[in-house]
């Protein structure tokens, strides 16, 4: 069974088509209308090895908020759908990733329940034209719709662009580990027998 999903999400604020292939190579193209977010989504695809296509049009004349939030929702929804019953995956993943002066740990449980703990403050309000607070908001929107536990901790770091990259890369690597097929088991990874 191919682990793929497509989400077509149309609202008064954004129009988003997003596709994933969990067993990809990090391919696809990302076009959100927000250069910085495309850069982060490119990093996410590259380091998760998820093929990711994003074609989004949003109300950027307001600000980047709705577009960033709704792409997070669509990405979480797509990964949740593509995982199906979650049989045979590792379920848990974690990664501590250095990027220059930054160090971030991300840990996920792709087990069908939502929790979000985020401790990665960015002192600067803006990264270029992008609102720094949208980094956290993107991942909260993702986690709520992927039905996962996501914990993100910045151990140290100063540069706003670096911190954001470090969060996207470490979370991509953690998700990659969690959605990988476990060669020792094709069972649903829960004593309840269902996730
Ligand atoms: Mn960069």
Cα(18)–Cα(30) distance, rounded to whole angstroms?
9
Q: What is the reported pTM?
A: 0.97
pLDDT over 90 (residue 1): no
Q: How far is the CA of 98 from the centre of ligand 1 (A)?
A: 14
Cα(108)–Cα(177) distance, rounded to whole angstroms?
9
CA atoms within 13 A on the CB side of 113: 6
Q: How far is the CA of 111 from the centre of ligand 1 (A)?
A: 31
Q: How far is the CA of 189 from the centre of ligand 1 (A)?
A: 36
- Specify the pLDDT at position 171: 98
Q: How far is the CA of 50 from the centre of ligand 1 (A)?
A: 19
Give the model confidence (pLDDT) of 147-157 as tens digits: 999 999 999 99
Give the model confidence (pLDDT) of 54-91 as tens digits: 999 999 999 999 999 999 999 999 999 999 999 999 99
CB 104 within 8 A of CB 155: yes
Beta pairing, strands 102-109 & 51-58: unpaired
Cα(23)–Cα(48) distance, rounded to whole angstroms?
10
Tell me the backbone φ, ψ of residue 119, rounded to 5 degrees.
Answer: -130, 70
Q: How far is the CA of 187 from the centre of ligand 1 (A)?
A: 39
Taken in order of first residue, the domains within the chain and their CATH numbers are 4-179 (3.30.230.40)
Q: How far is the CA of 42 from the centre of ligand 1 (A)?
A: 10
Q: How far is the CA of 67 from the centre of ligand 1 (A)?
A: 20
How does residue 115 score in pLDDT terms, banded at 50, 70 and 90? very high
């Amino acid at each position: 069974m191919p682990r793929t999903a497509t989400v077509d999400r149309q609202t008064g604020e954004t129009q988003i088509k997003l596709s994933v292939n969990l067993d990809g190579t990090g391919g696809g193209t990302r076009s959100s209308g927000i250069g910085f977010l495309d850069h982060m989504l490119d990093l996410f695809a590259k380091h998760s090895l998820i093929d990711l296509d994003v074609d989004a049009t949003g109300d950027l004349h307001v600000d980047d908020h709705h577009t960033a939030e709704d792409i997070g929702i669509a990405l979480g929804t797509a990964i949740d759908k593509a995982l199906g019953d979650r049989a045979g995956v590792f379920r848990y993943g974690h990664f501590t990733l250095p990027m220059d002066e930054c160090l971030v740990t991300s840990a996920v449980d792709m087990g069908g329940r939502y929790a979000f703990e985020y401790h990665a403050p960015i002192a600067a309000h803006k990264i270029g034209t992008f609102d720094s607070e949208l980094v956290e908001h993107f991942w909260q929107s993702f986690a709520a719709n992927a039905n996962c536990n996501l914990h993100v901790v910045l151990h140290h770091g100063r540069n706003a662009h670096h911190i954001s990259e470090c969060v996207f890369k470490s979370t991509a690597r953690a998700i990659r580990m969690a959605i990988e097929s476990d060669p020792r088991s094709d069972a649903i990874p829960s004593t309840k027998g269902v996730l």
